[in-house]
Amino acid sequence: MIEQRVMVLLYLVALSETFQQCFSFSNDQLVKPENVAYHKGSSIILPVSGNVYPKGYYHATVNIGNPPRSYFLDIDTGSDVTWLQCDAPCIKYFPPSHVTINKPSLPVISAPHPLYKPSKDIVKCNDPFCALFHWPNSVPSKSPEEQCDYEVVYADHGSSLGVLIRDVFPLKMTNDNTAFPRLAFGCGYNQEVANGVPPPCTDGVLGLGNGKSTILAQLRKLGLMQNVFGHCFSAQGGGYLFIGDNILPSSEIVWAPMSRKFSKDHYSLGPSELRFDGQATGVKGIPVIFDSGSTYTYFGYRAYRALLYMLKKNLNQYQFEDANDDKTLPVCWKSTKAFNSIHDVKNLFKPLILSFPNSKNVQLQLSPEAYLIVSDRGNVCLGILNGADVGLEGTIIIGDISMQDKSVIYDNEKQQIGWVSANCDRLQMPS
């Protein structure tokens, strides 16, 4: 959501009445429900752009409206709310910086329309979706006919305030059918970022959490596709996002059950044990959460200190020293000559392994490429941050850096998360 953003896992959703009179509607033509074609057992594929460094985020290109226009939405598995910056009064918005890309095997991404013009289909307070969105809290409105407002506040202090509306999402399916469902999402007219943080270069956020109000849950309820999705972020930049269950990658996927005990609202695998170069670290019982809304990975204080100790002990045999003048990330090292890429140093660092005692023989391996970057100053920097700095004392957050060149699948139907190494530069359909 912001360049090199702090994780956006934790969020609050609250009703706001302050800005109710600020919203107005356009005269966009509506698509009638009878024109929507539903097809079970299919999927959609969305092109992805961005990178971990220097941009700090990956975003999907989503078509919305009639006629459809393309918008860039930050991919966030750590929240349920999908919202889009709106062309409406009282707006405070971020001017997005868009580019056109064309990657082999993926659709051409054209420059999106800068601001979304809202449809007339407003979600009202008496709409069941409004109650679902605000669950478990009640909907504090003066009249059932009032608009259903939303406010989402992220852990990095960014926020979006607006109203819930519905509009057409044209979906080109992998079975060559096209559907035009009307889906509810946030039309944001007041966005904020923390002081000193550069504004994002996206149009909004695609919330892919496991709540009942997400775009995913709505597609499932309409009978359009299963509540299964996955992303494949390339370390070279770009990738793809798929929604649906019929284009899962190979049978080599490692599956682990989601854990509701440690986190009811996020994609958690429960407690883990940390190993460094195959050796035990003594760090056990720390729950792991997958959050694509976080650029970097976060370790709780105990795991972070153990990791730093082992990394520095390992680096003592090489000509590395602290690069305290490089503020790219909290911990950077330099050598006698500048590094050009991560390939220059990956053989000098050791792999990390997270094993899950509650899931027999399940391990998540983090190669050096999954936790290091090379800064624009030619130093190697640690892409695992101290979770204590953002209030995560005893949790591990797996961010984008550790999910690169992996197909990561979130199966909300079977309540499991899977991953497998993949070439995210090119989509390979299963045979």
The catalytic residues are: 76, 291
Question: Which residues, other chains included, contact 186 with Cβ-Cβ below 8 Å and sequence gap of 6+?
Answer: 81, 82, 83, 84, 150, 152, 160, 162, 163, 164, 165, 204
C-beta of residue 191 within 8 angstroms of C-beta of residue 59: no
Find the length of the chain: 431
Indicate if the alpha-carbon torsion angle 257, 261, 263, 265 is positive or negative: positive
Q: How far apart are CA 126 and CA 48, in angstroms?
A: 36
C-beta of residue 185 within 8 angstroms of C-beta of residue 45: no
Q: Provide the β-strand partners of residue 238.
A: none
Question: Which residues, other chains included, contact 339 with Cβ-Cβ below 8 Å and sequence gap of 6+?
Answer: 345, 374, 378, 379, 380
C-beta of residue 49 within 8 angstroms of C-beta of residue 101: yes
Q: Which two tokens stand for residue 127?
A: 């709409």
CA–CA–CA angle 310, 286, 216 (5° rounding): 120
C-beta of residue 418 within 8 angstroms of C-beta of residue 232: no
The full DSSP string for 265-305 is SSEEEEEEEEEETTEEEEEEEEEEEE-TT-SSEEE-HHHHH
Q: How far apart are CA 412 and CA 266, in angstroms?
A: 11
Q: Which two tokens stand for residue 194?
A: 């923390």
Question: Which residues, other chains included, contact 311 with Cβ-Cβ below 8 Å and sequence gap of 6+?
Answer: 349, 382
Q: How far apart are CA 63 and CA 72, in angstroms?
A: 9
Question: Residue 64: enclosing H or E segment and its boundaries?
Answer: strand 57-64
User: Measured between alpha carbons, how far is residue 170 from residues 38, 111, 182 in Å?
Assistant: 12, 17, 9
Burial class (CB in 10 A: 0-12, 13-18, 19+), 35: exposed
